[in-house]
A = this chain, B = another copy of it.
Amino acid sequence: MPASTGRPAAPEVIWTRPERAARGPRPAHNRAEIAAAAVRIADAEGIDAVSMRRVAAEVGAGTMSLYNYVPRKEDLHELMVDAVTGEYELPEEPSGDWRADLLALARASRDLLRRHPWVPRLYTSVHGFSPNGLRYLEHCLAALEGLDEDDATKMELLAVVHGAVMTYVGNEVATQERSRALPWTPLEEQAARMAYLTDRVGGGAYPRLAAALANAGPAVDLDAYFERTIGRILDAYGRGGPREDRGGDA
């Protein structure tokens, strides 16, 4: 009887599949090695360069051997996101100042996304409850211990902050990631798009947008922008927290 590639016929989360089977020859590779190889390729050449063939070659295996470790390409993506999620250096205990801790976490997320600009494109197709994802989430909840809100609201806050970080860095990094195989540089593309935008907006059809663009000026400090935005969101939940005792109403 043929072995088949072992792809599931019923829904299955990759993390429940045992890494190593009880019987049979000792596998020559493992998930961590494969995920690391895929991340290396994505960092260097973009997510589109990550194909089953390419990753297999990178770890020195035959293409189809990869399917013994990763049932579908989508699961490889899940492995990749989990691998980079493991890069968070989470302290043993939160500091007690939830606002400062969450801001630090947001900054860490921003830096991580800048290091791995392909993550946003994967994020809508990955579930997010990988082992390292759970660890990260648990730490976030620990950091929010001092916030006087119910659990649902805390989760909500985390989702909003996470979404905002993803949106900002995603936009920042999209051009760079998108134009990887194009015959021009991201800067040239940016310039062309800006030229189009000012031309289109200059027509007078979008007066408010024109004014906003004119006011924005040429150089925006992206990092300051980031801090302000995250700060606003944090202020929307548990106004002040331990940082600045209350403002007005409960």
Residues of A whose CB lies within 8 Å of any CB of B are 9-13, 15-16, 74, 120-121, 124-125, 127, 129, 131, 134-135, 137-138, 141-142, 145, 150-152, 154-156, 159-160, 162-164, 166-168, 170, 174-175, 178, 182-184, 188-189, 191-193, 196-197, 199-201, 205-209, 211-212, 215-216, 220, 225, 228-229, 232-233, 235-237, 246-249
Q: Are B167 and A11 in contact (CB under 8 A)?
A: no
Q: Are B152 and A183 in contact (CB under 8 A)?
A: no
Other-chain residue from B13, B125, B235 in contact with A178 (beta carbon distance below 8 A): B125
Quote the shortest CB–CB distance from A210 to chain B (angstroms).
Answer: 9
Query: How far, in whole Å, are A236 and B233 apart by their CA atoms in the complex?
Result: 6
Quote the shortest CB–CB distance from A209 to chain B (angstroms).
Answer: 5
Other-chain residue from B11, B134, B249 in contact with A189 (beta carbon distance below 8 A): B11
Q: Are A10 and B228 in contact (CB under 8 A)?
A: no
Q: Are B215 and A151 in contact (CB under 8 A)?
A: yes
Q: A129-B197, A156-B225, A193-B129 are in contact. Are A170 and B124 (CB under 8 A)?
A: yes
Additional A-B contacts beyond A156-B232, A163-B166 (13; CB < 8 A): A11-B188, A11-B192, A11-B193, A120-B124, A134-B201, A135-B206, A145-B208, A152-B212, A156-B225, A156-B229, A160-B160, A163-B167, A246-B248
